[in-house]
């Protein structure tokens, strides 16, 4: 490449890199390479002085390509691209060599690590030589939002957006809003009424002219991309069996809040759920509490109630994860049952008491003081429920290998409450496919980053909130719903959306219309132009993963910023033989 003036910056990352990689030798090696105008080493390239150094050097030395050898581009590529921008250089004339995660952190031999760092920097130089300045595009952002699911998450998100004046389409599968919270009496640990939480929101939604609720409806199709989605909403056939015409709406963003389904307790056969009449699930107990009477099938007030934790959760057989809300809900039941019948004996049979949330430990303490009997069982040694004999003063007997005492304890029960965990809804795969997001092994929707992007997904413009992401309690659900709404409002307020300049594109002069790529795109960014006989990539949807580039048999698809020539040149640099001689 002619007229390349490359600046190479080697970061020591404190001692993270420098303690294994001989940074000075690397610097000397790099300074002798063709096209390299200057090389610097620095303690923290990502610091303000580090970035400022790049900006100054670009201006003073007319650098037109920059390589930073430091940490992962996931960490600081944006940072350094920013430095290029502030110096007036196109941000894509930059390449990072990851000599920390991929080098110093995984090697303990200075010779090997230094040679590898040299090769990686050489590869980055070879690639950046072929980089081209790229310009990002911007597309219009529709301010309308589609919220799928009318539980507490969906309602909260809808209100948040509508209160800011944005038009919201709220689609609920059932005939009324509220989701699982509508099935609950009080909430742990402060014993607020769930009904009160809902009523206030329901009224506000009803009165808000910006929210249109589609009851008994499903989103049957979603196409387009961030800022410009089109959705088809269809009212589901009730008893009439008639087909309703779908309504088409235009939206810029989507929040998926489809919630969870409770674990089917009959799958654990030896708890006898469905066979023993007085073995019930937590939701069935809620129903009784809401109706104001806790009683056995026979209509008697139970003398002994046993609550069994982790039904379907924390088990290799069913779900390995913790459902997060059941422990506190179980304590809440102990409290509610005790209030209704102070003479009732309550046994709480648990694996571990997960009381991690705000106010939870206090609640646990209060429950223990209320004379609940706590019995701990081993994960893989579930309690066994028997029908009691005629001489016993109870309906059932539960055998528990009590872990703390190490004894086999038999406890009486007239009513057994199974704390059923949460699981992904049976239609979650359908929803994931509809909005083009991924699911984990348990069926929960995957966030784009588990820590830093908890409500975004890998599809721009699609957000997830609440228990469709993973089990969580109401405060976390509400926080996520508000977070998703806030993320969207930030995007709406810009009016336009920047699309990364790194995407794949089809050279229509070469594409023969073989259609190899059509179905491979994980982001549904490829469409086929039947009339012209060639494929087309919607750049706003493309994430530059490169699947179609690899699949194109005639090289009609090019991955911008990752062209064959650039990648081969990079490989060429990486495979050069480099000898490190200890100074």
Partner 1 sequence: MKEQKPKLKLAVYWAAACGGCCVSVLDVHEKLFDVVAAADLVFWPIALDFKYKDVEDMPDGHIDVTLFNGAVRNSENEYMARLLRKKTKILVAYGSCAHLGGIPGLANFFTGEEIFKRVYEESESTINPEKIRPQHEYEVPEGTLEIPVFFNDVRPLDRVVDVDYYLPGCPPQTERLLEVFLAIVTGAELPPKGSVVGAGTKAQCDECIRKKTENKLIKKFYRPWEINDDGESCFMEQGVLCMGPATRSGCGYRCIKGNAPCRGCYGPTADVIDPGTKMMSAIASIIDAKDPDELEKIISDVVDPAGTFYRFSLPSAIIRRKLL
Residues near partner 1, by CB under 8 A:
507, 509-520, 528, 533, 547, 550-556, 558, 564-565, 568
Closer of 89 and 526 to partner 1 (Cβ): 526
Q: How far is the CB of 544 from partner 1 (least distance, A)?
A: 16
Q: Taking the complex as a whole, how short is the minimal distance between the CB of residue 3 and partner 1, in angstroms?
A: 23
Whichever of 439 and 518 has its CB closer to partner 1, that residue is: 518
Minimum Å gap between C-beta 208 and partner 1 is 42
The helix or strand, by DSSP H or E, that contains position 281, with its residue range, turns out to be strand 279-281
| Concatenated DSSP letters of 18-48 | TTTS-HHHHHHHHHTSTTEEEEEEES-TTSH
The residues, any chain, with a CB within 8 Å of residue 263's CB and separated by 6 or more, are 311, 312, 313, 318, 319, 323, 420, 421, 422, 423
As measured in angstroms, the least distance from the Cβ of 517 to partner 1 is 8
Burial class (CB in 10 A: 0-12, 13-18, 19+), 376: middle
**CB closer to partner 1 out of 405 and 554:** 554
Residue closer to partner 1 (CB basis): 322 or 521: 521
The DSSP code sequence of 228-247 is EEEEEEEEPP-SS-PPPPPE
Taking the alpha carbons of 146, 157, 438, 470 in that order, is the dihedral positive or negative?
negative
Least separation, in Å, of the C-beta of 326 and partner 1?
34
Nearer CB in complex with partner 1: 365/565: 565
Closer residue to partner 1 (CB): 491 or 534: 534
CB of residue 521 vs partner 1: minimum separation in angstroms?
Answer: 11
Across 294-363, the runs of DSSP E, i.e. the strands, are 304-311, 345-350
Minimum separation from the CB atom of position 554 to partner 1 (A): 4
Q: Which residues contact 479 (CB under 8 A, 6 or more apart)?
A: none
In what order do the strands lie in the sheet containing 253-256? 211-214, 168-171, 145-148, 253-256, 462-464
Q: Which is nearer to partner 1, 86 or 518 (CB)?
A: 518
Identity of the residue, 232 or 551, whose beta carbon is nearer to partner 1 in the bound complex: 551
Helices 23-31 and 110-129 sit at what angle, rounded to 10 degrees? 40
CA 117 remoteness from chain centre: 34
Beta carbons of 250 and 364 less than 8 angstroms apart: no
User: What's the closest the beta carbon of residue 522 comes to partner 1, in angstroms?
Assistant: 12
CB of 430 to partner 1, least distance (A): 20
- Give the position of tokens 């059509």: 518
* Cβ proximity of 243 and 472 under 8 Å: no
Which residues, listed in sequence order, are joined to residue 98 by a DSSP beta bridge? 70
Give me the DSSP letters along 486-547: HHHHHHHHHSEEEE-S--EEE-TTT-----SSTTT-TT--EEEETTTTEEEE-TTT-----H
CB nearer to partner 1: pick between 137 and 510: 510
Measured from the CB atom, the residue of 283 and 562 that comes closer to partner 1 is 562
CB of 127 to partner 1, least distance (A): 15
CB of 507 to partner 1, least distance (A): 8
Our CB check for partner 1 shows the closer of 106 and 520 to be 520
CB-neighbour burial class of residue 40 (10 A; exposed 0-12, middle 13-18, buried 19+): middle
């Amino acid at each position: 490449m002619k007229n390349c003036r490359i600046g190479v910056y080697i970061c020591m990352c404190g001692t993270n890199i420098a303690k294994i990689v001989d940074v000075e030798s690397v610097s000397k090696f790099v300074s002798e390479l063709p096209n390299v105008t200057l090389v610097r080493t620095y303690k923290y390239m990502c610091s303000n002085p580090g970035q400022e150094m790049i900006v100054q050097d670009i201006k003073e030395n007319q650098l037109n390509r920059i390589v930073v050898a430091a940490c992962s581009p996931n960490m600081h590529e944006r940072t350094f691209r920013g430095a290029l921008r502030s110096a007036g250089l196109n941000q894509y004339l930059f390449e990072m060599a990851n000599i920390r995660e991929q080098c110093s952190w995984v090697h303990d031999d200075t010779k090997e690590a230094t040679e590898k760092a040299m090769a990686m920097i050489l590869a980055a130089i070879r690639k950046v030589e072929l980089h081209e300045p790229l310009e990002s595009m911007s597309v219009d952002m529709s301010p309308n939002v589609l919220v799928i699911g009318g539980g507490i998450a969906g309602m909260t998100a809808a209100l948040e957006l509508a209160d800011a004046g944005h038009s919201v389409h709220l689609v609920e599968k059932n005939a009324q809003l509220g989701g699982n919270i509508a099935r609950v009496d009080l909430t742990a640990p402060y014993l607020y009424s769930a009904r009160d939480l809902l009523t206030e929101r329901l009224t506000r939604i009803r009165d808000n002219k910006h929210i249109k609720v589609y009851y008994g409806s499903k989103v049957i199709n979603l196409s387009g991309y961030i800022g410009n989605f089109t959705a088809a909403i269809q009212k589901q056939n009730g008893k009439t069996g008639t087909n309703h015409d779908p309504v088409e709406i235009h939206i810029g963003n989507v929040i998926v809040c489809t919630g969870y389904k409770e674990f089917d307790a009959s799958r654990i056969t030896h708890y006898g759920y469905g066979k023993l009449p007085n073995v019930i699930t937590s939701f069935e107990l809620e129903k009784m509490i809401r109706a104001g009477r806790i009683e056995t099938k026979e209509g008697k007030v139970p003398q002994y109630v046993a609550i069994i934790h982790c039904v379907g959760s924390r088990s290799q057989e069913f779900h390995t994860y913790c459902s997060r809300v059941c422990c506190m809900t179980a304590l809440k039941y102990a409290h509610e049952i005790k209030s209704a019948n102070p003479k009732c004996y309550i046994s709480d049979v648990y694996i571990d008491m997960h009381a991690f949330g705000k106010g939870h430990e206090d609640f646990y303490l209060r429950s223990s003081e209320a004379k609940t009997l706590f019995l701990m069982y081993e994960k893989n040694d579930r309690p066994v429920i028997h029908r009691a004999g005629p001489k016993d003063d109870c309906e059932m007997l539960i055998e528990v290998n009590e872990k703390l005492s190490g004894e086999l304890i038999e406890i009486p029960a007239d009513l057994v409450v199974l704390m059923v965990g949460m699981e992904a809804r049976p239609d979650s795969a359908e929803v994931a496919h509809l909005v083009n997001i991924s699911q984990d092994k348990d069926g929960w929707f995957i966030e784009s980053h588990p820590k830093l992007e908890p409500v975004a997904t890998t599809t721009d413009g699609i957000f997830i909130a609440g228990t469709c992401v993973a089990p969580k309690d109401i405060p976390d659900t509400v926080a996520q719903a508000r977070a998703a709404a806030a993320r969207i409002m930030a995007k709406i307020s810009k009016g336009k959306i920047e699309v990364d300049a790194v995407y794949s594109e089809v050279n229509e002069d070469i594409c023969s219309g073989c259609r190899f790529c059509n179905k491979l795109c994980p982001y549904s960014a490829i469409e086929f132009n039947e009339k012209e006989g060639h494929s087309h990539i919607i750049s706003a949807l493309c994430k530059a993963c490169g699947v179609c580039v690899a699949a194109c048999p005639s090289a009609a698809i090019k991955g911008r910023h990752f062209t064959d020539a650039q990648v081969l040149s990079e490989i060429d640099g990486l495979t050069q033989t480099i000898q490190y001689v200890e100074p």
